[in-house]
Structure 1
Amino acid sequence: MDLHQLYVFTKVVEHKSFSKAAEDIFLSQSTVSSHIHSLEKTLNVNLFDRVGREIVLTPHGERLYQWALKILFLKEQALLDLNQGMTELRGMIRMSASSVPGQYLVPKMVKRYREKFPKATFHINQSSSKFVAEQVLNGSVDIGILGEKYENDKLHFIPLLKEKLVLVTSNQVPMMEKMTIKTITKYPFIMRNSASGTNAAIERVLKRNKIQKEDMNIIAYTDSVQSIIQFVMQDIGISIISEVAAREYAKHNSIKIYELNDFTEERYFYLVYNQNRTLSMIAKLFIDEAAKLI
């Protein structure tokens, strides 16, 4: 069993495509196919089922993928131990991020990480905090960056940045000096969708103050922080969002920021990974460096 064949195999699994894997590792598609065929012949098992134009891992393929990650990880550890090829480490990190960290933290983290490991590549998707945690749990991504913690024995959360939520309004809305969670119920409100970390924090504060969602004048729900800011700028409603997201717009006088006197909810942005999965060295090093990349 050849290490390079295992490496090619992992790339086909990650890309779910022979052609995309070939493009990623600068080989021809026929060479990739030949490596997989040789691996299947050596092991005397089928690693992929061809279903129409798609390829699907067989049970043998799923088991080999976990072993391949462990074997390649040991190889990379050996290189590091011998102080060789630190900057030569290459590979793809599959990441999912919720909207605020995805827009305001991840780009900076990727830039700083690639300054140290220039051959690292990233596949990043953006979704709600809840879905980010689910993707990490089911193994479809290596790492998640999100704004809410979900209890699960398999998930390990690393705090990256402490932040708070703030009230945002257009420049046209007259506000009192002391705003409370109760006083905002009379204003049209733009709410984040229920799977977001921001929504979970708002709901906790509402519950603590014995306010039902039905008591609020909610006129729209959205997944996007950018959409919320546009709603607010157009004076369609007010909202509660991450200070990290609001700060830049307030600095340019596009919106106003207020602190709610009884809204003491503070939260963290976290990195999350599945403790039961074997990650590549390039992904493990990102986890180790993450707090320094903010």
Structure 2
Amino acid sequence: MDFRQLQYMLKVAEEKSFSKAAQKLYIAQPSLSQYIQKMEQQLGVQLFDRTNNPITLTYAGELYIETAKKILDLKNQLIQQMEDIVELKKGCLKIGVASFRSTYFIPKVLPLFYERFPGIEVILFEGTSGELEELALKGTTDITIMMMPVPKELFSYEIILKEEILLAVPPKHPLSKKEGNKINLAALKNESFILLKQNQKLHQIAVNLCKQVGFKPKILLETESIETAHALVAAGMGISFIPDILLLANTYSKQPKYFSIEDFSATREMVVAYRKGRYLSTASKEFINVMKEALS
């Protein structure tokens, strides 16, 4: 068994197709099929059920894939440790981050990191909070920028900064004329809200904040993108909860009015997290240090 076998198996299992996997692996489809068949003959078991379309893993195949992922993850961690020995002259750092945070944070951090460690290649994985947690648990990413709360039994983390959750009110809404920068959330119980989708943490936070003051938000629309929600507020469609970091790049011609929540302090912590027990490379540690410096 070699690492190529493991990678071929994982790709076929992921694509559920020999032809699609072959395209991704840049090899001929007949060669890949023969390769897998030879593996099955050597092991004495069938790894794929080819009678289904798409193909599926057999029980033996599922066990193989589960172990293959662990082996390749250990291999990647070993490579990281060896890279550390050469004093960060070369290496690869895989970072998970939400798409909109990537827009605001990464341009502040990455140039400084590359200036100090030009030999380290950085690969970004962008997605929702749920997708990023899954990538971190699989070992696909080395470190991931997340928002609290994170499952403490699964992740170790370092706090980077705190952000405030603000209420964004349409510019022509009567409340936008309110003096001061604070508003009572309970007074908005009859308003329509634009929230992120239910699998995103900010949706859960928004619903819980409303629940704390005695009402369930009337949701006009849900979206995957915080920037879309913000733009819809600017267009006058409804009220939304947004992190204050979004104000850094506010380019809308009609600006929403932003309020802090008067009922309580609505803040959350941004952390850099990684799977518990996973080796944290020197490149990862240096990126965390640079991030703290750039965002301080």
Aligned-partner Cα distance in 1 for 2:193–2:54: 45
Partner residue of 2:240? 239
Aligned-partner Cα distance in 1 for 2:189–2:246: 22
Partner residue of 2:294? none
Aligned-partner Cα distance in 1 for 2:191–2:125: 40
Within-5 A mapping of 1:22-61 = 22-61=22-61
Q: 1:238 to 1:18 in 2, by over 3 A?
A: same
Q: 1:284 to 1:28 in 2, by over 3 A?
A: farther
Higher mean C-alpha displacement, 169-178 vs 71-80: 71-80
Higher mean C-alpha displacement, 151-160 vs 34-43: 151-160
Partner residue of 1:258? 259
Within-5 A mapping of 1:12-31 = 12-31=12-31
Aligned-partner Cα distance in 2 for 1:123–1:144: 9
Partner residue of 1:66? 66
Q: 1:52 to 1:99 in 2, by over 3 A?
A: same
Higher mean C-alpha displacement, 50-59 vs 39-48: 50-59
Q: 1:267 to 1:79 in 2, by over 3 A?
A: closer
Aligned-partner Cα distance in 2 for 1:94–1:48: 32
Scaled by the length of structure 2, the TM-score of the pair is 0.69
Partner residue of 2:214? 211
Aligned residues: 279
Aligned-partner Cα distance in 2 for 1:138–1:80: 19
Aligned-partner Cα distance in 2 for 1:235–1:197: 24
Deviations 1:90-132 (A, max 9, x none): 9xx797x76754765689999979x7565x87775x45x4x54
Q: 1:194 to 1:123 in 2, by over 3 A?
A: closer
Q: Is the 1:189–1:237 Cα contact (8 Å) retained in structure 2?
A: yes
Partner residue of 1:189? 193
Aligned-partner Cα distance in 1 for 2:235–2:10: 48
Q: Which amino acid aligns with 2:57?
A: L
Deviations 1:7-58 (A, max 9, x none): 2222323333333332333222222222212221211111111243312222
Q: 1:64 to 1:54 in 2, by over 3 A?
A: same
Deviations 1:178-210 (A, max 9, x none): 3222343454433444443223223333344x3
Q: 1:79 to 1:36 in 2, by over 3 A?
A: farther
Aligned-partner Cα distance in 2 for 1:206–1:236: 19
Q: 1:288 to 1:251 in 2, by over 3 A?
A: farther
**Deviation of residue 219 (structure 1)?**
5.1
Aligned-partner Cα distance in 2 for 1:133–1:222: 20
Partner residue of 1:174? 177
Structure 2: gaps of 5 or more residues:
292-296
Q: Is the 2:104–2:248 Cα contact (8 Å) retained in structure 1?
A: no
Scaled by the length of structure 1, the TM-score of the pair is 0.69
Q: 1:228 to 1:62 in 2, by over 3 A?
A: same
Percent identity over the alignment? 24
**What secondary structure does 1:259 align onto?**
strand
Q: Is the 1:194–1:200 Cα contact (8 Å) retained in structure 2?
A: yes
Aligned-partner Cα distance in 2 for 1:109–1:18: 40
Q: 1:105 to 1:10 in 2, by over 3 A?
A: farther
Within-5 A mapping of 1:263-274 = 263-270=264-271
Q: Please tell me the root mean square deviation across aligned C-alpha atoms, in Å.
A: 4.4
Q: 1:50 to 1:121 in 2, by over 3 A?
A: farther
**What secondary structure does 1:245 align onto?**
helix
**Deviation of residue 165 (structure 1)?**
0.9
Aligned-partner Cα distance in 1 for 2:82–2:108: 28
